[in-house]
Amino acid sequence: MLKVLIVDDEPHVRQGLKMMIPWDELGIGVVGEGEDGDDGLKKIIQQSPDIVIADVKMPGRTGIQMLEAAQKSGFEGKALILSGYSDFSYAKEAISLGVKQFILKPVDEKELIESLSLIRDEILKERENAVKLDKGDRYINDHIVKALLLGDEETMKSVDLSSFTYPCYDVALISAAVDTDEYEQSRLLNVCAAAIRENSDIDIITTDLSGMLAVLFKGWKRPAMLALLHKLNSEYDRRIFITVGSTAKGIYMIKQSYLSANTLYKNRFLYLHYGVVAHGETPQGADGGGAETDEAARQIYAYVEINDIPKLEASLEQFQETLRRNGYPPERIKVVCITLVMDLKSKIAKSIGEKKAEQLLNDDAISAVGAADSLYKTMETLRKLLSDISNAHFSYTTKSTMERVVQYIKANYAQELKLEMLAGIFGYNSAYLGKVFHQYTGENFNNYLDGIRITEAKRLLSEGEHKVYEVAEMVGYSNINYFHNKFQKHGRVSPLNYKRGGSSSDLDNQ
């Protein structure tokens, strides 16, 4: 059944047209109404009707102006114009737009039915005679191309594919880069389709997959094709996102090209900021089981605390590439990033206090990380958030490097800390850092770290809420015997006796 859209600023005229015509008998269905020229243009783009019945004089755009704008946006249907005697000055302009039927108001039912029948027959005849795959034949073209994309073998056997003799084919999927209303999305994709049709050896269909355009490039060299798509993306201010599938060697591999392009589209969260992403340009790796992300997170924490913004940004970039390379789905990425923020909140609370940490990393800040529509925007949100926190509360403008090293040790004593690791964080040779650290604190690194850990262990044991082995783990010792030895050396009493309030240096059996 053909689709018709009625556009008139008079409600009773629209209602009368719907009531007087036996639409079902004509094989035509009314898919919508437009209240004026501007509303009509939106409905044309949204509904893609086969026929538009439009009044000439309307508020805003005239019927002629509406049709002209619709054609520029890709509308290829037929139009029937309603006009008064005084409106025939528009006839010449209407003819240039392909309008062949004019109906005088008040509308005569018989004349309108005859005009609609002529238009219907013209459309059906065009479709019946469409036997070649050329740019003037959208109906059969779209039908065949969709069958090739989806691997519809039954359809492919029933149509003429003799013109598909190119050595290679590539499928590109075009979608709106940001969430927009249905009208804006349809308008943008129709304009893109019209622009691409100017090139030869391209077939286009609009798929039923979220309103994407599927473009089939026939025999193009891949660099030239990608250059065209990058140009298109630039011309539309990166408002479109394009994925390109693998190259198909023959028509029966076109489905595989489509599937690989669609896989990239489904992972658009990872690649949205690229604008154009092609199969083979997105390195993938095995899931590191969280080890890589954990290491990246540790570095991020470190650079926030020492206020090294360049290294913080570099670590976030590395973190982003790790997530992308592992191909994590959006939900997992958001969980990983929110977990990073929550862990950081817990860590910096030790330095600036729980209340300040809550103010800096409140629900709104965490929600902003989770609401980003791409991995790139997620990292940008994290970069600004963490840089602001680092600059506000860990600025080293008045602190020496050694002060920052000591501050970092005090905040992270419970973690695995080594002089070599600190040297990497602060950009020093480990031997040089050890020498300067000893000069600054009067102790070597390991003794200084043990002193901080044992002091904290004493506090925790005095509270009496934890077992000795639990305290050992809480202050950074994974080996209970090693903890006993260090505690005995620094505290001159065993951990258990210290907890009991005693003074014996005998080792306990905990």
Position with higher pLDDT, 245 vs 57: 245
For residue 243, the surrounding DSSP H or E stretch is strand 240-244
- Distance between CA atoms of 243 and 261, rounded to whole angstroms? 5
251-273 pLDDT per residue, tens: 889 999 999 999 999 888 888 88
Classify residue 505: in a domain, yes or no. Answer: no
- Position 136 scores a pLDDT of 43
Sheet holding 28-34, edge to edge: 28-34, 2-7, 51-55, 78-83, 101-104
pLDDT of residue 510: 43
The rounded distance, in Å, linking the Cα atoms of 33 and 7 is: 6
Residue in the structure block whose two tokens are 């609370």: 349
Q: Which CATH number characterizes residue 216's domain?
A: 3.30.70.270
pLDDT, average across residues 188-196: 82
Q: Which residues pair with 432 in a beta bridge?
A: none
The predicted-structure confidence for 457-489, as pLDDT tens digits, reads as follows 998 988 888 899 999 999 889 889 989 888 988
Q: Using DSSP, state whether 55 is helix, strand or coil.
A: strand
Contact status, residue 50 vs residue 78, Cβ threshold 8 Å: yes
Please tell me the predicted confidence (pLDDT) of residue 182. Answer: 72
Q: Where is pLDDT greater, at 224 or 98?
A: 224
Range of weakest confidence among 75-79, 195-199, 380-384: 195-199
Q: Range of 168's domain?
A: 138-278
Q: Are 83 and 45 in a shared domain?
A: yes
Q: pLDDT grade, residue 411 (50/70/90)? A: confident
Same domain? 18 vs 124: yes
Do 98 and 165 lie in one domain? The reply is no
List, edge to edge, every strand of the sheet that includes 169-176: 202-206, 213-218, 169-176, 240-244, 276-278
Q: Are residues 273 and 143 in the same domain?
A: yes
CB 495 within 8 A of CB 459: no
3-class SS letters over 417-475: CCHHHHHHHHCCCHHHHHHHHHHHHCCCHHHHHHHHHHHHHHHHHHHCCCCHHHHHHHC
Residues 389 and 428 in one domain: no
Q: Which of 369, 397, 425 is the last residue of a domain?
A: 397
Residues 277/271, Cβ–Cβ less than 8 Å: yes
Q: What is residue 94's predicted lDDT score, i.e. its pLDDT? A: 60
Query: Residue 497: which of 484, 479, 478, 486 has the closest Cα?
Result: 484
| Residue 490 CA: distances (Å) to CA of 459, 485, 487 | 14, 9, 5
**CATH at residue 108:** 3.40.50.2300
Do 122 and 164 lie in one domain? The reply is no
Does 358 fall in a domain? yes
Whether 404 maps to a domain, the answer reads: no
CB 373 within 8 A of CB 178: yes
Question: Whose structure tokens read 């005569």?
Answer: 108
Higher pLDDT, 333 or 179: 333
**Together in a domain, 246 and 374:** no
483 part of a folded domain: yes
Task: Examine the domain organization and report whether 252 and 165 are in the same domain.
Answer: yes
* Dihedral Cα 235, 239, 243, 249, nearest 10 deg: -30
Contact 426, 306 (CB under 8 A): yes
Residue 333 has pLDDT above 60, yes or no: yes
Percentage, residues of the chain above pLDDT 70: 87
The answer as to whether 338 is a domain residue is yes
Evaluate whether 340 touches 297 at the Cβ level (below 8 Å).
Answer: yes
| Cβ(300)–Cβ(319) below 8 Å | yes
Helices (H), 353-395: 354-360, 363-371, 375-393
What is the pLDDT, as a whole number, of residue 98? 62
Are 7 and 112 contained in the same domain?
yes
Residue 284 has a pLDDT of 54
How confident is residue 339, by pLDDT bands cut at 50, 70 and 90?
Answer: confident
Plot region of 241 (φ>0 → left; ψ -120 to 50 → alpha; else → beta): beta
Tell me phi and psi for residue 332, to 5 degrees: -70, -40
Residues 369 and 415 in one domain: no
pLDDT of 277 reads: 93
pLDDT of residue 438: 87
Q: Are 41 and 61 in contact (CB under 8 A)?
A: yes
pLDDT above 70 (res 396): no
Confidence band of 506 (pLDDT split at 50, 70, 90)? very low
Closest of 61, 55, 142, 147 to residue 104, by C-alpha? 55
**Residue 405 resides in a domain:** no
Predicted pLDDT at 509:
42
Q: Place 199 in a pLDDT band, splitting at 50, 70 and 90.
A: confident
Identify any residues that bridge with 101 across adjacent strands, giving them in sequence order: 80
Band of pLDDT at residue 283, cut at 50, 70 and 90: low
> What is the rounded average pLDDT of the residues 10-36?
92
Per-residue confidence at 132, pLDDT binned at 50, 70, 90? very low
Amino acid identity for residue 343 in this structure: D
Whether residue 507 is contained in a domain is answered as: no
Quick check: 285 pLDDT over 50?
no
State the pLDDT confidence band at 130, using cuts at 50, 70 and 90: very low
The domain that contains 472 carries what CATH number?
1.10.10.60
At residue 140, the pLDDT reads: 57
To the nearest 10°, report the CA torsion of 91, 97, 185, 47: 70
> Which residue among 128, 155, 179 closes a domain?
128
Question: Rounded CA gap, 410 and 406, in Å?
Answer: 6
pLDDT confidence tier of residue 508, bands split at 50, 70 and 90 = very low
Q: Which of 278, 304, 323 is the last residue of a domain?
A: 278
Residue 96: pLDDT over 70: no
CB atoms under 10 Å from CB of 183, counted, come to: 13
Same domain, 115 and 171: no
Instruction: Flag whether pLDDT at 243 surpasses 90.
Output: yes
Q: Which residues contact 217 (CB under 8 A, 6 or more apart)?
A: 169, 170, 171, 172, 201, 202, 225
Whether residues 96 and 189 fall in one domain: no
Output the pLDDT for position 229.
92
Residues counted in the chain: 510
Rounded average pLDDT over 167-196: 83
What mean pLDDT value characterizes the chain? 82
| Number of independent structural domains in the chain | 4
Residue 508 within a domain: no
Q: What pLDDT sits at residue 256? A: 94
Closest residue by Cα to residue 154 from 165, 163, 166, 143:
143
